[in-house]
A and B are shown apart, each in its own frame.
Chain A
């Protein structure tokens, strides 16, 4: 009995060592980024391992207060606005769309639409560069928030999560309401959506986190840096005249912080939702 316990203790110690080691390696880049925001380029390059900055000096945020002729806060507001709006649009249209596709899968055109959507999400989107640019130009949406927001509104995980939830609603619930004479709109707003509230919350969270990271479509659809978000600004920070290494790290911290905080607060819901959305997809 004691030998088994000793063995278990040893195994436990091993498991913890392995897990903590991996976790530390995974977290290390964040620490490096944070410390790098306070260290001068020459210090970082000559002693990259230092774990605490030589000095705590917020001056770097003054240096990046204006990037590419646009104030830093504008990028922050853009990030918030574009991410929130595209999340709202995404949740609304995907919920409605998935609901209709689940309730009436065989209506003319519905199968085709679902297949078309699945194909769309498989396409290497970075290669849609010019076509999307042309489409946005033809629609008059080039360089507008509307163009960026609408483009970001499509996503696979959102769709699969909703589809899966609506499929799981017992048909009897809806049939009962129909017999009572409820209209489809009433059923949706009074019965289905209240039931779907947790899923809506999960999808909203996940979409927000995913869209916050987007950069390429925003870069392509923008005409000028006024509509850039934080990740796009981060990628555009180096020019032929030089690049502010410390500033890049500081901006990287600002870009990473909001989703990281949101995720840590809502960790259970995000992880459960992500797993669910993927598993049934």
Chain B
């Protein structure tokens, strides 16, 4: 019985061999450079750092996990990562939605495409190059942001010089880099909405705000959802902006999990670093899956 099932499977594999051939390079690369390193990373998180890369590592169970959760710096870092992600997702989506609505309106006909290009350009700009500039724009004493504020008679912005404002500063720099992408998704969604509903509502005497709130916004649910998932994954992984602009400072304010773990890597503390990676990874999976699940339950595609 089992034998005949096996031979049936083998026959199926042989018959469909051409599709296996098609998929083979993709599969090989995914396994070699995606799945294998991830499994290796998870494996390392259960070993002692000093032996982690040897042929016979010492297994330590969950010791690395206990260590990092006993480290107040990590728990603070995790908390700040989550707060930063929350703030960034909201800020980026709100800003991108506002821009999309503005660009979608009939008020902006001429030059519309040029403005879109300007707002999307940072998305395809190498992030390293962009953040190198932002780093100095924000400088409290020598930067253009404060020189500009000073010229307008506005109070100075602390930027990267104080823990209180550093989060805001890198949030703005990341907003510059990413929001064009989210805007684009909203614009695509706005373009395929049913405009007849709005015309009908306008004839019924609905105010523009009512139309927007009750007719347009509900139709934007798919874009909102996609953007929320993308942005959550994106900002939980926040890394380059920290490397270029703050190195985790000032006073560990922007020492988010990905950067903290990276620093531990550099010190050869592989066990703890991969334990952090695994935790961050689990959070990303759980958050994105639950967002998808919630949206499916509420009936959106």
Interface residues of A (CB under 8 A from B): 8, 11-12, 15-16, 18-20, 22-23, 26-30, 32-33, 36, 44-49, 92-94, 96-101, 103-104, 107-108, 110, 113, 116-117, 119-132, 134-135, 139, 150-151, 153-154, 183-185, 188, 209-210, 212-213, 215-216, 230-231, 234-235, 248-249, 252, 255-256, 259-260, 263-264, 267-268, 270-271, 274-276, 278-279, 281
Give the number of residue pairs across the A-B interface with Cβ within 8 Å: 273
**Pairwise interchain contact B126-A259, C-beta atoms closer than 8 A:** yes
A279 and B30 CA atoms in complex are apart in Å by 23
Question: Which residues of chain B come closer than 8 Å to A32, judged between CB atoms?
Answer: 133, 137, 144
A248-B132, A271-B184, A275-B188 are contacts. A96–B284 as well, Cβ < 8 Å?
no
**Pairwise interchain contact B261-A127, C-beta atoms closer than 8 A:** yes
**Pairwise interchain contact B147-A234, C-beta atoms closer than 8 A:** no
A35 and B120 CA atoms in complex are apart in Å by 22
**Pairwise interchain contact A29-B265, C-beta atoms closer than 8 A:** no
Binds A, one of B84-92, B162-170, B199-207, B236-244: B236-244
Tell me the nearest residue of chain A to B22, going by C-beta: A100
**Pairwise interchain contact A231-B126, C-beta atoms closer than 8 A:** yes
**Pairwise interchain contact B284-A124, C-beta atoms closer than 8 A:** yes
Shortest CB distance B64–A (Å):
14
A150 and B131 CA atoms in complex are apart in Å by 27
A29-B137, A135-B40 are contacts. A276–B188 as well, Cβ < 8 Å?
yes
Shortest CB distance B102–A (Å):
6
Question: Which residues of chain B come closer than 8 Å to A278, judged between CB atoms?
Answer: 181, 184-185, 226, 230
Of B19, B125, B188, which is within 8 A of A259 by CB?
B125
Q: Is B154 an interface residue (CB 8 A)?
A: no
**Pairwise interchain contact A150-B33, C-beta atoms closer than 8 A:** yes
Shortest CB distance B94–A (Å):
13
A29-B176, A252-B129 are contacts. A131–B119 as well, Cβ < 8 Å?
no
Question: Which residues of chain B come closer than 8 Å to A139, judged between CB atoms?
Answer: 32
Tell me the nearest residue of chain B to A23, going by C-beta: B118
Shortest CB distance A229–B (Å):
9
Question: Which residues of chain B come closer than 8 Å to A129, judged between CB atoms?
Answer: 262, 265
Tell me the nearest residue of chain B to A184, going by C-beta: B18
**Pairwise interchain contact A49-B144, C-beta atoms closer than 8 A:** yes
Shortest CB distance A102–B (Å):
10
Of A12, A18, A100, A124, which is within 8 A of B23 by CB?
A100
Question: Which residues of chain A come closer than 8 Å to B44, judged between CB atoms?
Answer: 130-131
Question: Which residues of chain A come closer than 8 Å to B134, judged between CB atoms?
Answer: 29
**Pairwise interchain contact B108-A16, C-beta atoms closer than 8 A:** yes
A127-B258, A255-B128 are contacts. A22–B107 as well, Cβ < 8 Å?
no
